[in-house]
Amino acid sequence: MSMKSDSPLLDRNLVQDTLSEAMSNGGEWAEIFVEDRQSASADFDEARVEAMASSRDLGAGIRVTVGDITGFAHTSDLTTNGLFEAAQAAAAVAKGGSQVKPIVLDGNGLAESSARILPESVSKTRKVELLEQTNDAARAENAAISQVNVRYSEGRRRILVANTDGLFNADDQTRTLLSVNCVATGDQGLQTGRETVGYTVGFELFEEHDVEAMARRAAARAVTKLAARPAPSGQLPVVIERGGGGVLFHEACGHGLEADLVNKGASVFRDRVGELVAAPSVTLVDDGTMGIEWGTVAIDDEGCPTQRNVLIEDGILTDYMWDHLRSRSAGRPASGNGRRQSYQHLPMVRMTNTFVTNGEAEPQDIITDTKNGVYVAQLGGGQVNTATGDFVFGMTEAYLIENGEITVPLREGNLIGNGPEVLQNIEVIGNDFAMGSPGTCGKDGQGVPVGDGQPTLRVAALTIGGTAS
């Protein structure tokens, strides 16, 4: 059952007056972003609750633009005086003073939460029971499990965005997450296994997902890796399991398709719209409307509705991702990709849910047709140079492919390559699309929630940075 806010985060008249104040020095355009953020988390380690924390942050950010110049100020004081002081500080960039026109806001500034059970309405006792249940299931899976860490987190974020174009939009976002990390101890040392479930939903998440099954999978993964051998070194065909490698496309390709990096010349995809940049089987999409996925939002942090943006279609680069100001300057519609970490930050172009769409191949056929190579079930963190596309990612779960079969697990190694080359070298794409684990994308010191995914696919050759001789 959805829940609608009874009133906007900030009174409409006060919003209009604040925008007028922001334009008082002759600004060309002004915006106010109001945010009410609540979050809570709990860590369960060594069979006990290690920490429980909660926080709330409420405030507004105001920006004023004049040409290419932006003035920005933020405040946690939402009184008339506090907002006017921030508006005046942001307006200081505007000189000369054109006549201030009346501002009429369109919309009711209200939003509905899609969460059926708001996490803040659930007792701490119930949340601790969830942690204990997950911990017990992981430890019971195998005697080799020596350590289990379970983390629960929740967050609700209500935003209101208004600007001098008359926009007056709101959103109410709730996210809930549980992750379990297991350590297995064997003759050759320690190995880890991790599972995470998180969606843009409330506490009903745990009616749909079996935390005990999730814990057992994480434990089993750690135990399996105890028998791992060193990863090979050199170039090999790589099969990436569905959902397990979406982060590669997010980092190595997605960031290079953000219009701010393109405009700065910091993207290898600059001036390539209309060109073949990937194998003809590849379609890459960013979609902020994607059900309950981790990066889903009704509006971006500039108040623009999110949408499904096809970035690469059948191998051809079709568009970039845009925020409001850059799309306005280019004389084109915004794509709903203006995002910010909080009211204390300026928005920038960011991804939401980024993924490679389905192909036609059967996943098992992809493996069978790979004589020798590496099967990557899960990628970890990495680094990418958006100007060149070069990347390095850690393989947190990988296996050897021998004679068309997945055989022994491999110790953690690196996957090294170049984003545009990977796109060109994708040989076959499966029909088993899945999103991966929820993530936080960092850019210029800001973090926002994102999702990524892909079907099972094979890249003709990638460099494996292993330790096998």
| Rounded-to-integer distance, Cα 199 and Cα 354, Å | 15
Give residue-wise pLDDT tens across range 26-60. Answer: 899 999 999 999 999 999 998 899 999 999 999 99
Q: What percent of the chain has pLDDT over 70?
A: 97
Per the model's pLDDT, the better-predicted residue between 104 and 353 turns out to be 353
Record the tokens describing residue 233, joined without a space: 């070194």
Q: Give the model's confidence band at 99: pLDDT under 50 very low, under 70 low, under 90 confident, else very high.
A: low
Q: Give the model's confidence band at 1: pLDDT under 50 very low, under 70 low, under 90 confident, else very high.
A: very low
pLDDT at residue 235 tops 60: yes
Please state which CATH class domain 3-227 belongs to: alpha beta
pLDDT at residue 88 tops 80: yes
Mean pLDDT across 442-454: 97
What does the pLDDT read at residue 3? 53
| Rounded-to-integer distance, Cα 40 and Cα 45, Å | 17
Give residue-wise pLDDT tens across range 127-171. Answer: 999 999 999 999 999 999 999 999 999 999 999 999 999 999 999
Average pLDDT of the chain, as a whole number = 94
Record the tokens describing residue 251, joined without a space: 């980092």
Where are the alpha helices (H) located in 78-123, listed in sequence order? 80-91
pLDDT at residue 469 tops 70: no
Q: How does strand 446-454 pair with strand 353-356?
A: parallel
| Rounded-to-integer distance, Cα 140 and Cα 130, Å | 16
- Burial class, 275, CB count within 10 angstroms (exposed 0-12 / middle 13-18 / buried 19+): exposed
Record the tokens describing residue 299, joined without a space: 């509006």
Q: Where, residue-wise, is CATH 3.30.2290.10 in the chain?
A: 3-227
| Rounded-to-integer distance, Cα 199 and Cα 386, Å | 28
